[in-house]
Structure formats: structure tokens, C-alpha cells
Amino acid sequence: MNEWPNGWSGDQSGNRYGHGSGSAEPEGARAMPRVQRDAGPGYQRHEPPLPPSMSPRRGAAVPPQQSQGYDDAYDNGYNTGQVYGGGRGGGDGYDDGPGRGGRPRPRWGKRIKWTVITLVAVLAVTSVATYFWADGKLRRKVDLSKVIDRPVTGDGTNYLIVGSDSREGMSAADKQKLHTGSAEGKRTDSMMILHDGSNGPTLISLPRDSDVEIPTYVGSDSGKKYPGTGRHTKLNAAYAEDGPELLTRTVEFNTKLHIDHYVEIGFAGFANIVDAIGGVEMDIPKAFKDKSSGADFPAGKQTLNGQQALAFVRTRHAFAGQDLDRTKNQQKFLATLASQTATPGTVLNPFKLYPTMSAGLDTLIVDKDMGLWSLGNMFFAMKGVTGGEGKSMNMPISGSTGGNLVWDKAKLRQLVQQLNNDEKVTVSGN
């Protein structure tokens, strides 16, 4: 009995399937009819219906098929007659267009997102590691809590910046090369007050030959109190007598200006910083020589290495104004050094940044409350002095007593008042 509709039979057409087919075409190459399981009423067929003997509608339930541990997607795909590798736009993230061979479509949005996330993570880790590395190098040796009878704190931040003639870590050859001599101990070679406030930075040089009174103080090592006797001496003698704490106490007593932070750097550290950034370009208006410092500079623009830079800031015998002229050169050089160091070429270049930081931090001495944030603020305030945002000046001088320079008391009071109130400085110095 022929159960195929419309007179079809199992041997009638090229679409034979099952055993006994006489077709030369292999069975696997012929598409199987689509079978829709359990189609309900109204289902619109697109293939000829099955013969009654094969139809599940004859009352015999189709036994449930076991997945045998395979994913349902494979079962569903097989039973709908899908041929693997065929079809378009399956929504599976693959592009089967001509010549693509079924390769995954690039997902540029995700790639960019994860690249940015990775870069941010690397930068964050590097920044944190650099912070702790640099913070660990700071030598917090100065205890300003030992300074007694301090002036009231004003607006803004005041840094006492000291360049010492410390020869720490220098070999005999280094001392000869840098013309530092071999004196024991250390003294102050330069002293400055840097005020950082809302009206821009102000850099004030304190000549080391300034006439000052040594006040009552507590010894930094002994803890013993030494009463003031009205004794006058040069400012750099205060440092030689009892170090940074007495120097700070003496500056505060004679100026009535509160010092917030103390920063000191020696000869070796200064020269190493200059070499680490590849030198500092200076415009020297007039040629000068000084046998004591080793200075020998022609006029004009030139790049100074560490040795030359140290000679430049130490020279005073070549100038008529001696120490006053030297402090002007020191201000000019330090501000230029800060300006040329805080550039993208240094900050974003680890091969320059880390040697520069290491060279400075290895010999830098600061107070116990100084952090990297405060040190960075000081550095950029110094840079602002040459950027037109601030002012540099010498302490106003009214005369001298022998070899000591006497400060102008009236101008000093006005200057300190303007600094304490964080006002624009209008006082002029020498």
C-alpha cells in the first residue's frame, strides 16, 4: 500500500533516502527534510507532510530523546535540519561573508575598553609604587618641634631652603673636581625663604653675612636651654653652632615670620640633579671667572653641567656686590632648574625622572612633617618664580657693620606683614 501523498513512492525521485537507494549521490550530501516536532494546529508547513505510518499524530507518542550529556543546542539544530557551517546571521558573533571563512568578527569596543582599563591600572600601580619609593628616600632629620617661642602662623606656606657645603658621599677626586675643599662638618652656603600663597610665590634670599641676634634656644642634641645674651653674629654661624633647628629659630626670631618647612641639599646632590636632567641652559649676561669656585664662563646662552652649575651658584669674589650678587645668581639658577625639570620630557620619561628624583632625594634633608605633596608644591612654586607668577628679591639691607649686612627693619616689617596676610609683595630688596 502506498502511503505517500499524491501518489509519491519511495523510489520515485532523486530525493530517495534510507537503505536501498540506487542513487550514485551519497546520502550525506542530500539535505534531509525539515521535521517540526509537535507542530500544533494551524502550523504552516513548507514541506510535504509525512506519511501516516511515520506521523506522530497517529496516536503513538514519540519517546523522549535523551541528550546523552550534549548541549540542547546541538539537538535542536540537528532536528531542524540545519547544516553546520551554513546559513547567515546566526547571531553568534561570526561573520560568514565571502572570503571570511567563519572567523570571529572583531569587537573593537571591547578591545579598546580593556586596553584603557589595563593602561589605567598600570599607571595607578606605577604611581603608587613611585610614591612609596620616593617617600622612603626622604631623609626627615630636622625636628621643628624643638624650636621654641615661634611666631604665629600666617596665610600661605613658608619654606626655609638651605644649600649647605656638605661634602657627604664625595670622594677626594669629587672634592677636587668640584672645588669644594675638604673642610670638616658643614655650613650654609645659601639660604632662602620661599613663600607660596594665593598671590603667587615670593623668593627671598638671606645673605649668609646677614647680621642677626642669636636668641634663647634649646639644643637639638642636648635638650638643654641656652639663654639669649643679645649676641650678634653672621646668619650662617647659627647653622654651624647647632644645625637646622637653631638656624630656623634664628630666622624666625629676627624676621617674626613662621617657617612651615625646612629643606636642605648638599653640594653632591645639587650637581647630580643637574647632570641627571642633562644640564641647565643659562643666559649669562657678562663673562666672569673665579679661581675659588672654579667658575670660568663666557657671556651668552650655554648649558651648564653639574660641575659648572655648582661653580656658578658659589661664585662671589668675581662680583662687586659679593654675597648680594651671588644670591641673585642663586635665585636665577634655582628657578631655571625647577622650570626646566618640570617638563613633560622629564616627568613622563622614566629614564630621566627616576635618576633625577634619586639624585635629589639621596642628599635632600627635610623636616619630619614634610611629605612628597609639600615638596612638590615647593618645587612648582619655585618654578612659578621664573614663570612670571611670582617675585624674587634679596632681603632689604640698610647698611653694614664691618662685614655684616644689616637688614632694613621698616621694610622687613612691611614685607612680613604682606607675607603673613598673603598679599601681593610690593617691598623691594637689594
pTM given for the model:
0.67
Structure confidence at residue 272 as a pLDDT band (50, 70, 90):
confident
Angle at Cα 335 formed by Cα 329 and Cα 336, nearest 5°?
85
83-132 per-position pLDDT tens digit: 444 444 444 444 445 555 566 666 777 778 788 788 777 767 766 776 66
Structure confidence at residue 176 as a pLDDT band (50, 70, 90):
low
Give the pLDDT confidence score for residue 50 in this predicted structure. Answer: 55
CA diameter of the chain = 139
290-331 per-position pLDDT tens digit: 988 888 999 999 999 998 998 998 888 888 888 888 888 888
User: Judging by beta carbons within 10 Å of its beta carbon (0-12, 13-18, 19+), is residue 229 exposed, middle or buried?
Assistant: exposed
Residue whose C-alpha is closest to residue 395's, from 327, 314, 329: 327
Residue of 169 and 146 predicted with greater confidence:
146
Q: Are 333 and 308 in contact (CB under 8 A)?
A: no
